[in-house]
Structure 1
Amino acid sequence: MCIGALDVSPSFPLCRRVSKKSRIRVHRLTRWRRRSCNGEMMVMGTELELKNLKLYLENRNIMEENAKLREKASLLHQENQVLMLELQNKKFSHVV
């Protein structure tokens, strides 16, 4: 009935040209819906970025702590080897 939204006849009130205000309202509503959906996605994206950053920093701290513990373990191993050598030298010195 309404091709091109033209007013065909006064007997068809729905076939009148859509007013400019209505088009603007619909356009604004559509834009608002898009923004709200994009806003939700942006919030989710921001939350994920923050969570990712927190996990990255936590992982980096764990790796730094791991490196420190490896260094301590290496020093303790060296100290243990030195003490074992001293103990063996004392055993052999008492035998002779």
Structure 2
Amino acid sequence: MCSAKDWLQSPPTHCHSQRCCRKSKVRLHCLIMRRKYEGTKTENMELKNLKLYLENRSILEENEKLRQKAFRLKLENLALVSQFQKKYYM
């Protein structure tokens, strides 16, 4: 009986059964397809991971901008309250 390793090295001529060779070819084909699929699956996951990472970074940057804007508005509000108090309570 021939194996996939034998088939890779040279096409089997010594095999008694053509069925054995077909099984080996099918197994080899399945193995190749599985490796290709797993490779694309890994690449897809890496691509999704990169996209999510970049989206997360942009959200964090936007969050920081909004935090700074909120801080400036708070300072402006404190200044306005202070002016209001000076004008009406003095």
TM-score of the aligned structures, taking structure 1 as reference length: 0.68
Higher RCO structure (Cα 8 Å, ≥6 apart): 2
The answer to whether residue 33 in structure 2 is matched with residue 44 in structure 1 is no
Write the distance in 2 (CA, Å) between the matches of 1:56 and 1:94.
Answer: 57
User: CA offsets, 1:49-71, max 9 Å, x none?
Assistant: 11101110011101111211121
The structure-2 alpha-carbon separation of the partners of 1:30 and 1:92, relative to structure 1 and needing over 3 Å to count, comes to same
> In structure 2, what is the equivalent of residue 75 of structure 1?
68
- 2:39 maps to a residue whose letter is T
Task: Note the residue ranges of structure 2 that are not aligned, 5 or more in a row.
Answer: 1-11
Instruction: Give the length in aligned residue pairs.
Output: 77
Q: 1:30 aligns with which of 19, 23, 36?
A: 23
The structure-2 alpha-carbon separation of the partners of 1:80 and 1:41, relative to structure 1 and needing over 3 Å to count, comes to same
Deviation at 1:30, TM superposition (A): 3.2
Deviation at 1:82, TM superposition (A): 0.1
- 1:21 maps to a residue whose letter is T
SS of residue matched to 2:15: helix
Q: 1:8-19 residue pairs with structure 2 within 5 A?
A: none
Aligned-residue RMSD, C-alpha: 2.2
Which structure would you say has the larger Rg? 1
TM-score of the aligned structures, taking structure 2 as reference length: 0.72
Identity of matched residues, %: 9
